[in-house]
Amino acid sequence: MRLRQRPPIDQGAVPWLLAVALATASPHAENLPPWLSLLFAAALLWRAWLWRQRRPLPPRWGLALLVLGALAGIAWHYRSLLGRDSGVAMLVLFMALKPLEMNTRRDALVVVMLGFFLLLTHYFYSQSIPTGIWLLASCTLLTAALIRLHGGAQPLADIVRQAGLLLLQALPFMLILYLLFPRVSGPLWGLPQDAHAGRSGLSSEMAPGSISSLILSGAIAFRSQFAGEMPERADLYWRGPVLDSYDGLTWRSSAQQTGRPRSAPAIESKGAQYSYTSIIEAHNQRWLLALDLATSLPAGATQAPTLEVLAREPVRTRSRFSFTSSVDYHVSRVEAAAILQQALTLPEALNPRARALADRWRSRPPARIADAVLSMFRNEDFHYTLQPPLLGVNAIDDFLFGTRRGFCEHYASAFVFLMRAAGVPARVVAGYQGGEVNPVDGYLIVRQSDAHAWAEVWLAGEGWVRYDPTAAVAPSRIEHGIVAALPEGEPLPGIVGLDVDWLRQLRYRWEAANNAWNQWVLGYNPQRQREILSRFGIPNADWQSMSASLAILCGVALLLVTVWTLPRRRRADPAQRAWNRYCTALARRGVTRAAWEGPLDFARRVAVERPHLAALTSEAARCYAGLRYGQGNSEQLLVLQECVHRLPARWRKNA
């Protein structure tokens, strides 16, 4: 049995398919190993050259060897062929090499379908507005490539117009599916372990330079919107991990906070409480960055013994949480002995000069010791900078008695070390301080550049009290933000250093648009879906009612689109109607006009088959041809209409 030959690809369609490959795969270049990006570019340029020169494609055995070598390179680079990053790399490899064996229309369809699939993978890395716009443009290009592939050579404007029309027809279905498709709390498919890699934010450890790297980033950590009055900027301390274990170089969270939960901390608010909602960016950690100190927690959250608010699972997607907090309080006046003991622990035989200084203060009350440390930072020659000198093994001694230059983590670390060496329980708190209100949407934006570290000291009768040694050295850091505290000439963090009014206003509007996109598109979760559907008269919507509504509305939309897209029946003009009636009358008498047969040819055939109708049919045909293709007049139309009535009522079939 002979196999049917597959139709070859039109040469004019090749540039469209190369454009498809470039548009769908090139944005992944920043996430791919450089050698794979170079291979992709070289493969497309090679295929374009072959098309231009009309050269034959390379042999398949050569491509097979290239695929095997590239797969080995991907496996070596990612240490696996499984996972998000390695999977995307393989798709890009296939998109690069498939055009080099693209001979038939079937091969071209594989490239287009691979392009559609590659579009989905971009959301693994970015779900921003520019990504959405790029993917919409790429989807239009893919649809246009299909039109060019099957429709042949056409004007570019016609192809783009038809592609846009097809996407416009899909718009009602997109909106219906967006509103009614049952949402789930997690992703629709299980992602590999590396799907959540690369999240930025605070770490559970604080080593030299860890916070300064965050401070140089203008990325948004979270947004908060207060239900009423907002605290003063100096009170905006957002608590992250509490670091109470020190090895001489790095501060870490001890096992106390990850052990068995204890009873809720005793919090006594001394002033106003603030209610607010925070939209926290994914940071792959459990802490929820509540305003210090949270008195009301989101559902499912807990408060650790060290007072930070923890979610059940790490925050791997942008999430919304509601809190109530107090900024003036007493907390844990009676504290567990294990926690206090942990807050006194120091490594042996390190920083002898700092220990000697603390020993001289040991006889003072704890609050006076804290004041003495702050007074030293405030009155002596200490400087705030993001470019401090390197420190040695005795880092605290080198900082206090040598360099005296550093940023928040240096001052918080030295403060806590001195307090512990003087016999006072103390610990480091990492988090964020401050924020900037966006006047467009009213949200307080807290960036990575607002990352901060401060100290907590336990005082008998008062509990844990916040001390910020950075405020003693650079009060402008707390009052006006990081930019105001940095010496002139130091690098500024991200986009927050821009001090041009029109750029700042543009940034406000862009970030407000992103916030709306995040909440109403990316953040369209089951709770928000129920809220929206209740406004449309579907209260307490479950998956059964949503599925039924989805089927009904999709059916209605399909019917409307079908009615709109069906070719409308053209209304025949009077000459056409008269000629059709004449031909129908002849068909009843045994002479049927073929669809391809013109009026004069039909008249000649009638003259042969029905000689007694030759003159009448010839007259009708000449009148119709003049009306249809020439400069006909009303008299010809009247003659054509009368010809139908002049046909004999009865006649013999073979006359």
What pairs with residue 252 in β-bridges?
Answer: 205, 245
Q: How far apart are CA 477 and CA 469, in angstroms?
A: 11
What DSSP element (H or E) covers 82? none
Q: Let me know if 583 is a catalytic residue.
A: no
Closest CA to 124 of 50, 218, 28, 42: 28
**Residue 144 carries which side chain, given as an amino acid letter?**
A
- Helix/strand/coil percent split, the chain, to 5: 55, 15, 35
Q: How many CB atoms lie within 10 A of CB 355?
A: 18
Sheet with 251-252, strands from edge to edge, namely 205-206, 251-252, 245-246
Backbone angles phi, psi at 128, to 5 degrees: -85, 170
Q: Which of 28, 283, 468, 623 is catalytic?
A: 468
Q: Which of 235, 330, 398, 408 is catalytic?
A: 408
Residues 298 and 322 sit within 8 Å (Cβ to Cβ): yes
Query: Residue 10 has which token pair?
Result: 């039109």
Where are any strands of DSSP class E within 3-116? none
Where are any strands of DSSP class E within 351-415? 383-384, 405-406
Residues 121 and 68 sit within 8 Å (Cβ to Cβ): no
Closest CA to 159 of 12, 339, 331: 12
Q: Let me know if 452 is a catalytic residue.
A: yes
Query: Residue 245 has which token pair?
Result: 């274990």
In the three-class reduction of DSSP (H, G, I as helix; E, B as strand; rest coil), residue 498 is classed as: coil
Q: Please, which residues have CB within 8 angstroms of residue 66's CB and are 6 or more apart in sequence? A: 97
Q: Let me know if 408 is a catalytic residue.
A: yes
Sheet with 426-433, strands from edge to edge, namely 267-269, 329-331, 463-467, 451-459, 426-433, 237-243, 290-291
Q: Give the CA angle between residues 192, 197, 199 to the nearest 5°.
A: 145
Cis peptide before 44 (omega within 30 of 0): no
Closest CA to 483 of 381, 374, 386: 386
Dihedral angle computed from the Cα positions of residues 437, 438, 441 and 445, in that order, rounded to the nearest 10 degrees: -70
Residues 217 and 200 sit within 8 Å (Cβ to Cβ): yes
- For tokens 């964020």, the residue is 432
Residues 452 and 408 sit within 8 Å (Cβ to Cβ): yes
Q: Please, which residues have CB within 8 angstroms of residue 556's CB and are 6 or more apart in sequence? A: none
Q: Which of 452, 583, 623, 643 is catalytic?
A: 452
Please list the active-site residues: 408, 452, 468
